[in-house]
Amino acid sequence: MKLPFFGNHPGRVFKSNGIFLQVFIEDHGGGSDASWPARYKNLRIFHIMPAQQENNMNRRNFLGSSSAVLLTSAIASHSQELQSAIKGRQDKSATNPGPENQLVRDANPNTFTPPPTDHGEVQAFWSSFSTAHRRIQEGGWTRQVTIEDFPISKEIAGVNMRLTAGGVRELHWHNAAEWAIMLRGAARITALDNDGRGFVKDLGENDLWFFPTGIPHSIQGLPPDGCEFLLVFDDGHFSEANTTQISDWTRHTPPDVLAKNWGVAEESLASIYAGPAEGRFIFQAEPPPALSEDIAALNSAAGASKTDFSFLMSRMPATAKTRYGEVRVVDSANFAVSTTMAAAHVIVRPGGLRELHWHQNADEWQYYIQGKGRMTVFFNGGKARTADFNGGDVGYVPRTLGHYVENTGDTDLIFLEMFKSPRFSDLSLSEWVTNTPPELIRQHLGIPRTVLERIAPHKPLITPV
Ligand code: MN
Ligand code: MN
């Protein structure tokens, strides 16, 4: 049994029939208490007592007492509807004789048995690269999550790509801006800026790049094992299958025109017309020469670009840090070229919570890099839904909807919050209730002043602080 709306903190105070009550929560996770039958393993028990007795009572002794009656008291303090939702999870109502896709079910515990506070039908806000088609070619592969099969994701689409050492994502541009993070390995990227000057750079794990709409670029995996990276586009309709590629465009230009364009002999361009009809996309090539050699070649042409299309997030100190995690915010304030995308790289330690918050300026597209977490998105009008996330999954939160992300695993949870916006911006529930007249908050939520005063008067981003 799990009643996540109580959170993991024992000693939560609430009011019932005019009396303040204290609820203690005890997990029977490992069955260490031999007096408990095996079938009660993983049971979570709620103990209710008058709040003022908290300090007078030996908590250990109290937890040793019978809890059945007390559990009923806990439910009695909730609305009829919530009582029914909780009871349904305790009796035969929630049993499921099957059939069932066990693997999918087990990966989504908060969908199979939602928190009783979840309610109503909402559009799916979770997806995964692990169920996306992989286009595999010599040199690497790509897969994408776009609005086509993830309808809520109107503002952003994502691509996950792997390139071998020497493997090339061919020279191309597209009708959307491209933000990227290197997940594994290293790559050499090239681009052409608005002044027609070339850019070339080698990037490693946790480094970023940004190519504005229409800026041509390429990516090539470096030895020893190439790379894997995530691309984020500022348009939900973006598709990797619809980009302007150099081998595609030239192959579909009459040879005499191309020869006239460059002032070269038509016969010297024969290899272009031997290529595939839709361009090369990804292909295996020799690893590139030393970076200094590529840079020297640029300098002897129009000169190297003065625009930095890259950002070394791997060397960036945390923007915010607490006991339970850290956040790095990268947007146009520190990564000038990234004018249409803002990012937060979030690490939440086991037991930590990316606090309840919302974003005023844009939808949030999430990519889960590692770990295990859950997110509840509050859709207003009584609607809320909780979903589970693992590495490789994608989440989406429409603009202004309240949400949190909780680490439910035993390793660090690492994910990206991406926004189609020049700046990262959020507001938190904590800063809302602590920067509003306290008496007004008390009148709304019934929270005593003494409890309100314990809430951090700022925005920690990751809690507990
Ligand atoms: Mn691209
Ligand atoms: Mn958020």
pLDDT of residue 300: 86
pLDDT over 50 at 5, yes or no? no
Report the CATH number at residue 283: 2.60.120.10
Number of domains composing the chain = 3
Q: How far apart are the first and last CA of the chain?
A: 28
- Centroid of ligand 1 to alpha carbon of 173 (angstroms): 6
pLDDT over 60 at 19, yes or no? no
Q: What is the mean pLDDT of residues 54-58?
A: 36
Structure tokens at 88: 């349904």
- Centroid of ligand 2 to alpha carbon of 52 (angstroms): 37
Rounded CA separation 221/284 (Å): 10
- Centroid of ligand 2 to alpha carbon of 357 (angstroms): 6
Are 83 and 170 within one domain?
no
Strands (E), 51-133: 126-128
Are 350 and 365 within one domain?
yes
pLDDT above 70 covers a percentage of the chain that reads: 84
Are 152 and 285 within one domain?
yes
What contacts 322, CB < 8 A, 6 or more positions away? 460, 461, 462, 463, 464, 465
Q: Which ligand is in closest contact with the Cα of 240?
A: 1
pLDDT of residue 73: 53
DSSP secondary structure letters along 268-314: GGGGGGGS-TT---EEE-PPP--HHHHHHHHHTTT-B-SS--EE-GG
* Closest of 327, 403, 401, 332 to residue 362, by C-alpha: 401
Task: Read off the DSSP letter of residue 317.
Answer: P
The predicted-structure confidence for 235-271, as pLDDT tens digits, reads as follows: 999 999 999 999 999 999 999 999 999 999 999 999 9
CA dihedral 233, 312, 417, 103 (to 10 degrees): 90
Are 408 and 331 within one domain?
yes
pLDDT over 60 at 9, yes or no? no
107 found inside a domain: no
Are 300 and 151 within one domain?
yes
Tell me which of 417, 431, 439, 453 is the catalytic residue.
Answer: 417
- Residue 3 CA, chain-centre distance (Å), reads 24
160 found inside a domain: yes
Rounded CA separation 130/389 (Å): 12
| Residue of higher predicted confidence among 85 and 60 | 85
Q: What is the mean pLDDT of residues 425-434?
A: 96
The predicted-structure confidence for 355-398, as pLDDT tens digits, reads as follows: 999 999 999 999 999 999 999 999 999 999 999 999 999 999 99
pLDDT over 60 at 99, yes or no? yes
Rounded CA separation 123/383 (Å): 11
Pick from 44, 70, 95: which residue ends a domain? Answer: 95
Q: What are phi and psi of 236, to 5 degrees?
A: -60, -25
The predicted-structure confidence for 293-345, as pLDDT tens digits, reads as follows: 999 999 888 999 999 999 999 999 999 999 999 999 999 999 999 999 999 99
Q: Which ligand is in closest contact with the Cα of 173?
A: 1
Q: CA dist 32 to 29, 42, 65, 201, Å?
A: 8, 11, 17, 55
Report the mean per-residue pLDDT for the chain.
Answer: 88
pTM: 0.84
Q: Whats the size of the chain, residue-wise? A: 465
- Centroid of ligand 2 to alpha carbon of 359 (angstroms): 6
pLDDT of residue 74: 60
Residue 456 burial by Cβ neighbours in a 10 Å radius (0-12, 13-18, 19+): middle
**pLDDT tier, 457 (very low <50, low <70, confident <90, very high otherwise):** confident
Pick from 39, 68, 95: which residue ends a domain? Answer: 95
- 453 is annotated as an active-site residue: no
Are 396 and 355 within one domain?
yes
Classify each residue of 368-398 as buried b or exposed e, where b means 16 or more C-beta atoms within 10 Å of its C-beta: bbebbbbbbbbbeeeebbbbbbbbbbbbbbb
408 found inside a domain: yes
Are 288 and 428 within one domain?
no
The predicted-structure confidence for 128-154, as pLDDT tens digits, reads as follows: 999 999 999 999 999 999 999 999 999
Q: What is the mean pLDDT of residues 45-49?
A: 46
**pLDDT tier, 402 (very low <50, low <70, confident <90, very high otherwise):** very high
Rounded CA separation 145/219 (Å): 20
Which residues constitute the domain of residue 377? 316-463
- Centroid of ligand 2 to alpha carbon of 2 (angstroms): 25
- Centroid of ligand 1 to alpha carbon of 174 (angstroms): 7
Rounded CA separation 132/142 (Å): 10
pLDDT over 70 at 43, yes or no? no
Rounded CA separation 141/122 (Å): 33
Classify each residue of 286-308 as buried b or exposed e, where b means 16 or more C-beta atoms within 10 Å of its C-beta: eebeeeeebeeebeeeeebbebe
pLDDT over 80 at 75, yes or no? no
382 Rama class: left (phi>0) / alpha (psi -120 to 50) / beta: left
Are 357 and 288 within one domain?
no
What contacts 182, CB < 8 A, 6 or more positions away? 203, 204, 205, 206, 207, 208, 227, 228, 229
Q: Which ligand is in closest contact with the Cα of 461?
A: 2
Q: Which ligand is in closest contact with the Cα of 189?
A: 1
Q: Which ligand is in closest contact with the Cα of 176?
A: 1
pLDDT over 70 at 205, yes or no? yes
- Centroid of ligand 1 to alpha carbon of 135 (angstroms): 15
pLDDT over 50 at 42, yes or no? no
- Centroid of ligand 2 to alpha carbon of 403 (angstroms): 7
